[in-house]
Amino acid sequence: MLQQLQALEQLKARLRETISSLALGPGPGYASLILELPHGLTAAPDIAGPRFQFLHAHRGDLRVGYGIAGEWRAEGPQRLEILRGQARAVAAQWQQSDPDETGFTGFGLLGFAASPSPKPDSRAGDLPNAVFWLPELALAAHGGQAALILTTAVKADRQWLLGHWEAWLERVVPLLDAPALDPLTPAHLDPGDSEPGPEDWRELVFSALDEIDEDRLEKVVLCRRLRLQGHRRFDLTRLSAALSYLFPSCQVVSIRRDQDNFVAATPERLFTQHRDRIEADAIAGTACRAEDSELDAQITAGLQSCEKNLREHRVVAEAVSAALSHCCRHLDPPDGPRILQLNNAQHLWSLVRGELKPGVDVFELAERLHPTPATNGQPRREARAWLRENEPIERGWYTGAAGIVAPDLTGELWVLLRCARIQDRMAELYAGAGIVAGSDPASEWEETEHKLAAMSTALQFA
């Protein structure tokens, strides 16, 4: 406890020394003050209020945001274009003060639901359809280094701001060195209804195959929702830790607004933009894993040679390349497919790389790439229209995207897969399967069962 109090007093003293570096006053704009933390971070405290977290164990990356310094929402077909205009105005007047020379910057979250226009009868949750969100306090860690980032509108009074930020430090800093939670005994989860059920799923797959046979669709991705109830309130800190342990090569995402908690453990980047370089994942074609290494190798070989899975993967890789061709000066051919192995599933994976044209940002890339055929279908417009008409559930943020945006509007977004929407002891899990010529309803159902198991297993330890 003494160490935490010393760290708190050191950070408060550093805040008082450096807050004068911010140009505050009337008018628009935001300012971020970056303060070095004395040691790295691998986890972040769960504090009441709006919060988001992105944790990637293999990369040693952690980004967490608390509170709301600024927020912009949009809905409808132009949602990303609207947010882009608002974010550009923010970026043009967003000061960055890094007196400790950490190399970190302020950042925001960009996130959006699968569909820009929810169905009229859909249940409205607490997550907006699309949002660009600047947190009041953020934590960033990478490679053993960590920083605490405070962000404000520049019109704030400096003396008030000092007290406000000190209060934030008092809430967060003492919890940064909290010991790891003791593991819980795995809890039983009571299954609820599945939408669609097995028979409705079978009919839905056959309906999709009819569209494919008539050449109206090349591929379409169908989604299931499974409700589970725990015997104790789900603890999101434990859930994130369990997902990170089970799936260290996945991005573990958690977002909380009011009563809504959205959690995902996704293997699929929509893209990573670093200056003028772009990388995007093409992931499609799935098989299960086996505990026996020899059997697991046989399953891998079968996945690599399966014409149905290779066809499904090719559709996605070609669509990602075609989308990026419009905003790249140079685009490499897809590198793959390779095998991406997770704890409970393995996928065909190709990497698409390119050099971007000047002026391209995360909002334009998100507009061009989302949704890919890996989560929607091909052709994009026809698949989305067919799903809107035929899929019995509203996806919400499942198969949407979320990620971190830097002050220069570059960043990284992840497709929101292996998801759960959580309230107290209730969880709604989502998973999907791609339907192409040759798909079988029973096999596709089994694929969704494997994907749902990723979240249901972790929930037992939450």
Q: Provide CB contacts within 8 A for 179, sequence distance 6+.
A: none
Q: Say what the pLDDT of residue 121 is.
A: 62
Alpha carbon 99 to chain centroid distance?
A: 30
Model confidence pLDDT, tens digit, residues 307-327:
989 999 999 999 999 999 999
Model confidence pLDDT, tens digit, residues 331-355:
999 988 999 998 888 999 999 999 9
Q: What percent of the chain has pLDDT over 70?
A: 96
Q: Say what the pLDDT of residue 4 is.
A: 63
Tokens 């990573």 sit on residue: 272
Residue 347 in tokens: 């996928």
How many Cα atoms within 13 Å fall on the side-chain side of residue 45? 16
Q: What is the pTM of this model?
A: 0.94
Is the pLDDT at 122 greater than 70, yes or no? no
CA distances from 334 to 63, 286, 322, 373 (A): 29, 18, 11, 15
Sorted by where each starts, the structural domains of the chain and their CATH numbers stand as: 2-175 (3.60.120.10), 189-459 (3.60.120.10)
Q: Say what the pLDDT of residue 123 is.
A: 60
Q: Say what the pLDDT of residue 118 is.
A: 81
Q: What is the DSSP string of 291-302?
A: SSHHHHHHHHHH
Nearest to 221 by CA among 116, 370, 372, 377: 377
**Per-residue pLDDT averaged across 126-145, rounded?**
95
Contact 121, 136 (CB under 8 A): no
Residues 126, 141: Cα–Cα separation, whole Å: 28
Q: Say what the pLDDT of residue 126 is.
A: 76
Residues 26, 24: Cα–Cα separation, whole Å: 7
**Per-residue pLDDT averaged across 356-373, rounded?**
96
Model confidence pLDDT, tens digit, residues 200-222:
999 999 999 999 999 999 999 99
Q: What percent of the chain has pLDDT over 90?
A: 85
Q: Say what the pLDDT of residue 183 is.
A: 62
Of 123-127, 132-136, 183-187, the one with minimum mean pLDDT is 123-127
Q: Does residue 214 or residue 38 have the better pLDDT?
A: 214
Q: Say what the pLDDT of residue 343 is.
A: 83
Is the pLDDT at 298 greater than 80, yes or no? yes
Is the pLDDT at 66 greater than 90, yes or no? yes
Model confidence pLDDT, tens digit, residues 410-438:
999 999 999 999 999 999 999 999 999 99
Q: Say what the pLDDT of residue 391 is.
A: 95
As a whole number, the mean pLDDT across the chain is: 93
Q: How confident is the model at residue 462 (pLDDT cuts 50, 70, 90)?
A: confident
